[in-house]
Amino acid sequence: MAGSRSQPDLFSARTLVRDGGGDVELVGTVARITFRSEDTGYTVARVAPEGDEKTWAVVGKMPSISVGEPVRVRGKWVEHPKFGRQLEVTRLERRAPATNEAIVRYLSSISAGGQGGTGVGPKLAERIVQTFGADTLSVIEDRPEELTRVSGVSAKKARALAVAVRESVRLRDLTLLLEENGLGARYAARIQDRYGESALNVVREDPYRLAREIWGIGFVRADALARSLGKDPEDPDRIDAGLTHALRRSADLGDVYVPAEELVRAAEDLLQVDTVVVERGL
């Protein structure tokens, strides 16, 4: 495995890369997106470590990361037969771009990526950042009308940029919430596409809805997410979702009729709550 090579062969001493227990942590900025599958979120990107001009290949499920976006990735080195050494990601932390240069790249990438059709290229992004500096992103999100002070930014373009940045921020926040609570980031784009501006609220307030409406999640994953978020084991939404799951499992086995007492027992085993709690959900 490529991870056995010594750290100095990979990075300068200035970069924030740590090797422990076979894992490597890389802190840097997304320099380029080489490939992305919109279906799975699998992405091949180049990341420039902090304090280092050299970029490194990072691969894995990283839905909708953008050029110019600061990231912290953890993973293992693998050797691709054609493309050489790559960092295979097991965990991704997305952070808001902090430096002017990173903000310029970020705004340009949103336009290039087609998120909202902002029409903001590198030169216009530079003018925006020169005008607002470190406050650029907060201005775009909260006071987009101020962008029209910048030459070349119309009211329409300002609104489009605000929409694109807000969407990107929501996706970043959603990804972090899912990862912090045990549900992989690969589901973030699906949830965002399904619920739009309400995505974060749906996850926090009605996680069992994901089991019904998001392909690939199902009851078990939704339940783990809900429990991690602190939902009550006897929450009526959980009982309803458990009963539905038990009924569907019986249908998958070919049953066309399930007696109520059998359904209650199956849900009781699944949910690990008292019988009376399950019966209240019927």
Question: Distance of CA 154 to CAs 23, 146, 157, Å?
Answer: 47, 10, 5
DSSP letters, 99-130, are SHHHHHHHHHHHHHTTSS-----HHHHHHHHH
Q: What is the DSSP letter of 18?
A: E
The residue type found at 187 is Y
Q: Decide yes or no: CATH 2.160.10.10 for domain 2-94.
A: no
The H-or-E segment that residue 249 falls in is helix 236-252
User: What pLDDT score was predicted for residue 21?
Assistant: 52
Question: pLDDT per position in the chain (282 positions), as tens?
Answer: 344 333 333 333 233 345 545 678 888 888 889 998 877 778 999 998 877 778 999 998 886 687 878 888 888 889 999 988 999 988 888 777 878 888 898 888 776 554 445 778 889 999 999 999 999 999 999 999 999 999 999 999 999 999 989 888 888 888 878 877 878 777 888 899 999 989 999 999 999 999 999 998 999 999 999 999 999 999 999 999 999 998 888 877 776 677 888 888 888 899 998 888 888 888
Q: Evaluate the CA torsion angle 32, 159, 150, 165 in order and state its sign.
A: negative
To the question of pTM greater than 0.85 for the whole model, the response is: no
Tokens representing 280 are: 């209240």
Q: What residues contact residue 120 under an 8 Å CB cut-off, 6+ apart?
A: 107, 108, 110, 111, 128, 157, 161
d(CA 268, CA 264): 6
Residue 78's nearest CA partner among 65, 69, 87 is 87
Class of domain 100-171: mainly alpha
Query: Residue 194 has what pLDDT?
Result: 94
Buried b / exposed e over 174-213, threshold 16 CB at 10 Å, is bbbbbbebebbbbbbbbbbeebeeebbebbeebbbbbbee
